[in-house]
């Protein structure tokens, strides 16, 4: 039996096929440019050549249909019949106040998701369209939603409420929700294993740094605060999102330039952050430009890392001196030593000392690494995230009736003997190229 996971973004659809029995990834892929003049698909299956093609995909319906055809294809596919798919897990951006945990999809669930589209207008329509397309293509297969916001539901009121009229919360659901929940959940559970602690005894700060970025404070194994808010716009400086700004800037610029609310939303979400500062969002391009003397790029790096440091320092005060580790994850967190270096400047004040050499050689997305100095009170870890595995396990558990909220549920990656087969093979190749990687691998305690 296999589990299919789908992550439908505003103009893309990522997917993964997981062999539940053998605990191995069979195929991964992504459809991009959905809704544009042409769309593309990139499909990778174990033991087979990669497949790339252009096709027409006006909506997510056509994208899902092509994904299914690829999975069944004689040359590139990994299954012979749709009956081999035991469940489908869908990543959903926003659960609002309605969904506190993953759930099986029903007509009623879809109607409830439609009621919170206004909380995530860029992503929710695509999420829902992907679910509806998959249900139509595979009507007899159980489908599940896995919410980005679910992990953060343990935050106390003083963390998730805003200092605005209270009726905004009761009447319009204005509150902090938080996102990247599956990533934060995975890293929190893995951190407990690596630290040799029970989940309920683990205190960590997780920095999910990618094009989108957020930080989660995890005390006694659950989220107590996070940097993103009502939407994914708040918090850190991101690839194209502004993160925290003075709210008065918004009406000031609208009145000054005549921008509409929709235009302002577009600027803050798609034309700000690193793109707004230096015209580039890929951290590799920003770093290259900085080294070549681009002052705006150099400023962008300093601003991004300073913001991360401020959040880490602020969250550290929530642990009463009992912080176990700071974790970096996601594409940038895992693969950008210069961002980690900048973000860790001054953290000696909270007992976290970065080993600059370990940090520099930590350039692999396949292993779990410890990059702090030997005498650092607080560990600094790099943990490759695995959001798809969280989605896969939730979907399987919902299908079998064994699922529960994450505080009561045990994931396979919480086991000490857990191994990601694909990553382990890739890690050995990385170590062969750079033996120093082996010296900073975290040994499970």
Distance CA 116, CA 149 (A): 12
Pairing between β-strand 379-382 and β-strand 103-104 as defined by DSSP bridges: unpaired
User: Mapping DSSP to helix (H, G, I), strand (E, B) and coil, where does residue 143 land?
Assistant: strand
User: Which two tokens mark 251?
Assistant: 């009406």
Q: Rounded to whole angstroms, what are the CA distances from 415 to 190, 275, 358, 368, 388? A: 9, 41, 26, 15, 17
CB 215 within 8 A of CB 334: no
pLDDT for 88 equals: 96
What is the CA 314 to chain-centroid distance, rounded? 22
Integer Cα distance of 268 and 6 in angstroms? 27
| SS3 category, 207 | strand
Q: pTM here?
A: 0.94
CB 188 within 8 A of CB 206: yes
- The three-state secondary structure class of 372 is strand
DSSP string, 78-140: S-S-GGGEEEEEEEES--TTT-SS-EE--HHHHHHHHTTGGGSTTTHHHHHHHHHHHHHHSTT
CATH classification of 197-383+419-440 is 1.20.1250.20, yes or no? no
pLDDT score, position 35 = 86
Residues in contact with 316: Cβ distance below 8 Å, sequence separation at least 6, in sequence order: 205, 323, 350
Instruction: Give residue 444's pLDDT.
Output: 58
Taking CA atoms, 405 is separated from 59, 100, 113, 397, 410, in Å, by 33, 8, 19, 11, 10
Task: Answer yes or no: 148 catalytic.
Answer: yes
Give the up-direction half-sphere exposure of residue 223: CA atoms within 13 A in the CB hemisphere.
33
User: What pLDDT score was predicted for residue 364?
Assistant: 87
Annotated binding site for Mg(2+): 7, 387
Residues for the chain: how many in total? 445
In contact, 305 and 344? CB cutoff 8 Å: no
User: 109 with 103: CB under 8 angstroms?
Assistant: yes
Q: What is the mean pLDDT of each run of 10 residues along the chain (445 residues)?
A: 91 92 93 90 92 91 92 93 94 92 96 91 88 92 96 97 97 95 97 96 97 96 97 95 97 98 94 96 95 98 98 97 97 96 97 97 92 97 96 96 92 92 90 93 73
**Which of 19, 148, 324, 394 is the catalytic position?**
148
Q: CATH number of the domain at 2-147, please?
A: 3.30.420.40
Segments making up each domain of the chain, as ranges: 2-147, 197-383+419-440
Nearest alpha-carbon partner for 237 in 195, 197, 193, 207: 207
Hey, do 2-147 and 197-383+419-440 end up sharing a CATH topology, with the first three levels equal?
yes
The bridge status of strand 222-226 relative to strand 213-219 is antiparallel
Q: 30 near 70, Cβ under 8 Å?
A: no
Q: How far is CA 143 from CA 90, 381, 400, in A?
A: 7, 34, 12
Phi, psi values for residue 42, rounded to 5° = -125, 120
Cβ contact 128:116 at 8 Å? no
């Amino acid at each position: 039996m296999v589990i299919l996971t789908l992550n439908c973004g505003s103009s893309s659809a990522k997917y993964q096929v997981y062999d539940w029995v053998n605990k191995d990834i069979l195929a991964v892929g992504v459809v991009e440019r959905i809704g544009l003049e042409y769309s593309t698909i990139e499909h990778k299956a174990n033991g087979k050549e990669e497949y790339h093609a252009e096709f027409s995909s006006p909506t997510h319906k056509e994208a899902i249909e092509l994904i299914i055809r690829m999975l069944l294809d004689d040359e590139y596919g990994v299954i012979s019949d749709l009956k081999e798919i035991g469940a489908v897990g869908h990543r959903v951006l926003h659960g609002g106040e309605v969904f506190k945990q993953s759930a099986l999809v029903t007509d009623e669930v879809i109607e409830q998701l439609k009621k919170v589209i206004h909380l995530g207008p860029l992503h929710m329509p695509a999420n829902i369209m992907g679910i509806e397309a998959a249900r139509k293509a595979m009507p007899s297969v159980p489908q599940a939603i896995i919410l980005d916001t679910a992990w953060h539901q343990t935050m106390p009121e003083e963390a998730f409420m805003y200092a605005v009229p209270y009726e905004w919360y009761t009447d319009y659901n204005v509150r902090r929700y938080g996102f990247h929940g599956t990533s934060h959940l995975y890293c929190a559970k893995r951190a407990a294993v690596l630290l040799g602690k029970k989940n309920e005894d683990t205190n960590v700060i997780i920095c999910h740094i990618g094009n989108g970025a957020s930080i989660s404070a995890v005390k006694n194994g659950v989220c107590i605060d996070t940097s993103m808010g009502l939407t994914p716009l708040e918090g850190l400086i991101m690839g194209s999102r502004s993160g925290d700004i003075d709210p008065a800037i918004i009406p000031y610029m609208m009145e000054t330039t005549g921008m509409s609310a929709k235009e302002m939303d577009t600027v803050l979400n798609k034309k700000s952050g690193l793109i707004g500062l230096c015209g580039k969002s890929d951290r590799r391009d920003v770093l290259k430009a900085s080294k070549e003397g681009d002052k705006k790029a150099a400023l962008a790096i300093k601003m991004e890392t300073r913001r991360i440091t401020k959040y880490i320092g602020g969250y550290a005060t929530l642990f009463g001196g009992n912080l176990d580790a700071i974790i970096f994850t996601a594409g940038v967190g895992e693969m950008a030593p210069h961002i980690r270096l900048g973000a860790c400047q001054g953290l000696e004040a909270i007992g976290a000392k970065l080993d600059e050499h370990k940090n520099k050689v930590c350039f692999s997305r396949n292993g779990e690494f410890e990059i702090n100095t030997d005498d650092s009170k607080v560990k600094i870890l790099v943990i490759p995230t695995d959001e798809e595995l969280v989605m896969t396990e939730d979907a399987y558990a919902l299908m079998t009736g064994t699922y529960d909220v994450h505080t009561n549920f045990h994931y396979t990656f919480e086991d000490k003997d857990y191994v990601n087969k694909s990553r382990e093979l890739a890690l050995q190749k990385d170590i062969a190229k750079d033996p120093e990687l082996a010296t900073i691998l975290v040994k499970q305690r």
